[in-house]
Structure 1
């Protein structure tokens, strides 16, 4: 995967950690000593942001010697990134690169687990993620979920149409909105119209009105399976997505209901990947 993070953001990551230089390395007088830094996985990890981590080290004055690309499934003990340079450059980029690798790879590894379990139960299912990533981290979060095999559900409000009850309340409720659904489709003929239902009864009414996708939130698996079966029978052109509380433990059960799309946020929150770092001096010839 390519690194689409602009130089300005790479520089901002570095500036957050090294705003006025590295006091420890300077006082020890080791800044000019040649060395190498190596990042290695401790657990099975789906890698993400190796490219950005390498760019951090390069911006600090190091040279990347080897790197595995984002999306690689790395076994425990795998060397994923190595760079050489003066100790000052290696120490300046160390923690910034480590944080990028651990947080992003944590997201991509959780995502890959859910995708694997969901597709084992339902090979045709799509796994997508919401816009609930921590503010300021969207580029990294989106790269991480794609490295894990998922895709964005919505990048923001500008590129998709998803109607909630918080919208229809301004129109007088669900029924007045459904009466105008055909008009909405004419206004945006290139867009799919997604509508969230608060119950199975609402979901069937939304499907009958011609929505492209009916989305349900926190619906129990047994109820969802029955709903999917009825929508498939009565409205075969309507897709069903399920959101709310879906994670690695229950993704397979939700996928097995026959839904088309799993929508989740859980991958953004959890333990970072465990990656070790070694910085060692290199004897000059």
Structure 2
């Protein structure tokens, strides 16, 4: 048999780690001297130690390795563990590649424009929601309030109950900026079921993946934020996938101070 020091040298596993393996039942010494508490291992356990090290190098946790060793001589069971771990690591590698790309594009933007990170862009998914919607051609973007007036007046008798997420947004359906006759839709997420009115349509909107930036202040910033988010989408290899929209977290209905407005500029992507 081998003393723990000798076993440590041969297995290239520290004495501290061998003691930990013993504590968790992963690699238990063949014999422990009752008087000295010295741990002794037999030579055959070197192969087990090598298996543990190899599995650790593959990224398995000690608790998983303990389970694997119970069926190590079963090639099918071992293969199943390895396949699952491979899939996990491939997913992790994809996430790391995406993070590296985000870092790379952020660095490039900052080198071109030291103001580029004023608006931080994030990826998120807005879940499916049931909304009250009004869509019309209006004279200009600053006339959006007309749509909100229509929604409020035509649904007043139905006493709409806002959904928990309380998304209130305006969607801009024109492909490009227009000076007049703009196609705008407003939506507010609600609970329950309601009857359509002359101009208000109730519908279920599917979930959507977006790139977005949230900012505080007047709507005069929207153009700059639009550019920031659109550039981020292109720089990071995504494609636009629907009409751009703004979520009004704090709107003129809640404050008359433009400096207190909170708006999220959103671009659906794929």
TM-score interval, normalised by the smaller of the two chains: 0.3 to 0.5
Question: Which protein has greater RCO, CA pairs closer than 8 Å, 6+ apart?
Answer: 1
Q: Structure 1 length normalisation: TM-score?
A: 0.33
Instruction: Please tell me whether Structure 1 or Structure 2 has the larger radius of gyration of its CA atoms.
Output: 2
